[in-house]
């Protein structure tokens, strides 16, 4: 893998990728990249200027014409080759990811391998983007075609440095679009490593462009350009609403995968110990920095103490440390902003009467480490019950009536993921029909899979990533009515 290392830790040089060339950009401005496990700068990320962005836009416009007209079999072969390269490089990509994002090495390497499969799935699914022939009057041929929407501007966060960009890149390129991806400045080298796989696989210049920069400036410039035909974003609800409004001003379609505050309803007939084990495993994955992370635990009063005791046991068994250290099962938070947010949410809950059953504090060591935390007696008006924690905090509250729990679960403006535990198929069907969410899991808290759609309702966004629905935003539907002349006989 052709990456230039600049530190003894092996962190590579970060570049922009524009019009088929790796470059530092024209402005010479950079920002530090920090290892969250040590709080030390390990590299720099170049920040694009408006001239750099204009070059990327021009490249994407030209690249789209090239890629759109590339035969689908050739496109698919190139994308499969990129997936093969990513699989081969997964261990190295995982190490880079751990250095800049903090998650345990096994999680990071697994993420790299998993998104290679995402690319393979989307590349194959694009071959099934069928149109149709509609019965019509004699002499008229009425058809529908699915065609790529055009150049895409995509924006991704830091919590899944490989998964976030790959969802956008794989869908765009599989559909025949070009793309400019603005990945996170906090985890830039992983994005570079992904792009190198596509470059080395033979994706033509201009089809895939990678930029970093001041987020508000980059997004405003790319969205306003007439070259951009779709805006795809994963991130917070406030930023998503801002970008959607900007796109609406220039009539650009958008794909919005925004935040949530996922409820977990543990029904009276569930196994409280098994439910707690599965829920805790999901809660502390990636240090809780997952938009679908279970974050509000509503437990029937008859199971409450047993569930809480097992959850506390699981939290205290989490091995917190540097993601490169063998045996670590939870790394640091990604940045100091998350630390401050978790300290604020915990303090507010305690002030309002909550009890800290375990954790609740920053660990006294270098790095952005926060202890796995379980809170009980959390009142409904605590900020933790209203604001997505995006960290390893689990508020557990009892309920007596299932409809009461459902009302609580649906009371927030979010609707991304939701979970329930029950031994009754009838209860599971009742709960899943009642919950207002785009992703639901019964008797587990599993994550997204590439063969099925993921996305939210209400303030959690619209559009879907994964499954056959993933290509919908990247394709336009064109109706063709062809009035035929008299046949030559």
Question: What residues are labeled active site?
Answer: 257, 291
User: Which element (helix H / strand E) includes 76?
Assistant: helix 72-88
> 246-274: buried (b, 16+ CB within 10 Å) or exposed (e) per residue?
bbeeeebebbbbbbbbbbbbbbbebbbbe
Q: Give the whole-angstrom CA distance, residue 184 versus residue 127.
A: 31
Do 339 and 333 meet the contact criterion of CB atoms below 8 Å apart? yes
Residue 356 backbone phi and psi in degrees, to 5: -85, 110
What is the spatial order of strands in the sheet that 132-134 belongs to?
132-134, 140-148, 475-483
End-to-end CA distance of the chain: 61
Q: How far apart are CA 372 and CA 17, in angstroms?
A: 38
Q: What is the dihedral of CA 416, 422, 425, 430, to 10 degrees?
A: -50
3 phi and psi angles, rounded to 5 deg: -125, 135
- In whole angstroms, what separates CA 487 from the centre of its chain? 54
Strand-pairing partners, residue 440, are 418
Q: What is the DSSP letter of 285?
A: G
| Strand runs labelled E in 310-450 | 355-358, 373-376, 393-399, 414-415, 417-421, 439-442
**Token pair for residue 220?**
């405003």
Distance CA 188, CA 191 (A): 5
């Amino acid at each position: 893998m052709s990456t230039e290392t600049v530190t003894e830790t092996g962190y590579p040089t970060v570049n922009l990728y524009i019009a088929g060339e790796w470059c530092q950009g024209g402005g010479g401005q950079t920002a530090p990249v920090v290892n969250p496990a040590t709080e030390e700068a390990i590299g720099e990320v170049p920040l694009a200027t408006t001239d750099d962005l204009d070059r990327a836009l021009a490249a994407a416009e030209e690249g789209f014409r090239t890629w759109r007209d590339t035969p689908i079999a050739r496109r698919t072969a190139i994308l499969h080759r990129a997936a093969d390269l990513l699989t081969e490089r997964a261990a190295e990509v995982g190490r880079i990811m751990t250095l800049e994002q903090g998650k345990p090495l096994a999680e990071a390497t697994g993420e790299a391998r998993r998104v290679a499969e995402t690319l393979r799935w989307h590349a194959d699914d694009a071959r099934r983007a069928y149109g149709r022939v509609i019965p019509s009057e004699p002499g008229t041929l009425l058809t529908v075609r699915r065609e790529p929407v055009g150049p895409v501007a995509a924006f991704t966060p830091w919590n899944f440095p490989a998964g976030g960009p790959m969802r956008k890149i794989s869908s765009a390129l599989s559909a025949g679009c070009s793309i400019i991806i603005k990945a996170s400045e906090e985890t830039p080298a992983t994005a570079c490593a992904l792009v190198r796989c596509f470059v080395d696989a033979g994706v033509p210049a201009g089809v895939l462009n990678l930029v970093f920069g001041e987020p508000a400036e980059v997004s405003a410039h790319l969205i306003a350009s007439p070259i951009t035909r779709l805006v795809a974003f994963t991130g917070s609800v406030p930023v998503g609403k801002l970008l959607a409004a900007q796109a609406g001003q220039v009539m650009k379609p958008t794909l919005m995968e925004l935040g949530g505050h996922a409820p977990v309803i543990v029904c009276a007939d569930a196994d409280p110990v098994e439910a707690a084990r599965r829920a805790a495993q999901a809660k502390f994955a990636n240090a809780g920095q997952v938009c679908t992370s279970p974050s509000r635990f509503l437990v029937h009063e008859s199971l409450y103490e047993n569930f809480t005791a097992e959850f506390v046991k699981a939290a205290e068994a989490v091995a917190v440390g540097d993601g490169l250290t063998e045996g670590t099962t939870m790394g640091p938070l990604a940045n100091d902003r998350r630390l401050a947010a978790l300290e604020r949410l915990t303090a507010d809950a305690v002030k309002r009467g909550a009890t800290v059953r375990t954790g609740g504090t920053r660990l006294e060591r270098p790095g952005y480490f926060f202890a796995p935390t379980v809170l009980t007696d959390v009142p409904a008006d605590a900020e933790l019950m209203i604001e997505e924690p995006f960290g390893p905090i689990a508020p557990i509250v009892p309920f007596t009536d299932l409809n009461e729990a459902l009302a609580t679960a649906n009371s927030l403006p979010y609707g991304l993921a939701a979970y329930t535990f029950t031994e009754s198929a009838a209860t599971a069907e009742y709960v899943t029909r009642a919950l207002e969410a785009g992703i639901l899991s019964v008797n587990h808290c599993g994550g997204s899979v590439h063969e099925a759609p993921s996305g939210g309702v209400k303030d959690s966004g619209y559009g879907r990533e994964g499954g056959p629905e993933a290509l919908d935003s990247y394709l336009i539907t064109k109706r063709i009515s062809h009035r035929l002349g008299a046949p030559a006989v």
